[in-house]
Amino acid sequence: MDTPILEMRGANVFYGASQILFGVNLAVQRGQTMALLGRNGAGKSTTFKAIAGIAPPRGGQVLLSGHPVSGQAPYLVARAGIGYVPEDRQVFPEHTVDDNLIVAAKRGPRGDRHWTTERIYEVFPILAGMRNRMAGRLSGGEQQMLTIARTLMGNPDILLLDEPSEGLAPIVVRAIGDLIRQLRDMGVTILIAEQNMHFCLGIATHATVIDKGQVVYSATIDELRGNDAIMQRYLAV
């Protein structure tokens, strides 16, 4: 196996005195789309916050292409190549779509600038038609697309999406799913947290299941699909 793009080893995370993650191990290889699945409260968002440097693990390590990033400030973790899209999908509401993208433009960790506004508008044609609109006027689904697009503008090595389908109408969920699949097919490495396993079945290549702050299963998405016991026990199906 190659060195994973992202690896978490034995991460213990606490909020105050209460432990939320217990020795979480996770590895994402280049080009994979890994689904981090688990019920509400399982620890998905906490895992993402631990990776992004917002809730640093008290034990264990986070490695990016083999280099430790745990203990670094969130902006340094971002600069090292982690593109984190939190679940609250914040945009700059009083600025245009274009400006929301331009402020986030930055070369990747090795100086690459694959993602430009032109390329974003090719992949996100809906945003192209709204480039001069105030971001606060976009629908929830459009704002979700904009936060994904804005994160790509930083040319990350891996994209972390925290529940991108949450709270969106089914038709919008489908559009977000198509978009993530397109990014996957372009070779973008993605880690996506979801309670909605069905959303991930046609998108993810691999799956890791978390329950009560512990990883309970990790395999390809096809293996998960064939494992009724795991799906019944840990996922709302």
Ligand X SMILES: Nc1ncnc2c1ncn2[C@@H]1O[C@H](COP(=O)(O)OP(=O)(O)O)[C@@H](O)[C@H]1O
Under the rule (CB under 5 A), what is the footprint of Mg ion? 44-45
| Residue 43 is a binding residue for ligand X (CB under 6 A) | yes
Task: CB nearer to ligand X: give 17 or 171.
Answer: 17
Residue 109 CB, shortest distance to ligand X, in Å, is 26
Strand, helix or coil at 159? Answer: strand
# residues near ligand X by CB under 6 A: 10
Residue 44 CB, shortest distance to ligand X, in Å, is 3
Stretch that binds ligand X, among 3-11, 36-44, 136-144, 226-234 (CB under 6 A): 36-44
Residue 15 interacts with, from ligand X, Mg ion, none (CB under 5-8 Å by kind): ligand X
**What is the full DSSP assignment across 79-125?**
HTTEEEE-TT----TTSBHHHHHHTT----TTS-----HHHHHHH-H
Show the tokens assigned to 213: 């702050």
User: From the list 5, 6, 24, 45, which residue makes contact with ligand X (rule: CB under 6 A)?
Assistant: 45
Q: Which residue has the tokens 């789309």?
A: 33
CA distances for 177 relative to 79, 115, 161, angstroms: 27, 20, 12
Task: CB nearer to ligand X: give 1 or 17.
Answer: 17
Residue 129 interacts with, from ligand X, Mg ion, none (CB under 5-8 Å by kind): none
Residue 173 CB, shortest distance to ligand X, in Å, is 18
Show the tokens assigned to 146: 């904009």
Residue 34 CB, shortest distance to ligand X, in Å, is 15
Residues 7-26 that bind ligand X (CB under 6 A): 15, 20
Stretch that binds ligand X, among 43-51, 127-135, 175-183, 215-223 (CB under 6 A): 43-51
User: From the list 42, 153, 158, 159, which residue makes contact with ligand X (rule: CB under 6 A)?
Assistant: 42
Residue 23 CB, shortest distance to ligand X, in Å, is 15
CA distances for 202 relative to 74, 97, 179, angstroms: 31, 29, 12
Show the tokens assigned to 39: 């019920």
| Residue 46 is a binding residue for ligand X (CB under 6 A) | yes
| Phi, psi dihedrals of residue 67, rounded to the nearest 5° | -100, 130
Given a contact cutoff of 8 angstroms between Cβ atoms, the answer to whether 84 and 52 are in contact is yes
Stretch that binds ligand X, among 44-52, 73-81, 147-155, 199-207 (CB under 6 A): 44-52
What's the CA gap between 48 and 54, in Å, rounded?
9
What's the CA gap between 175 and 123, in Å, rounded?
12
Binding site residues, ligand X, CB under 6 A: 15, 20, 38, 40-46
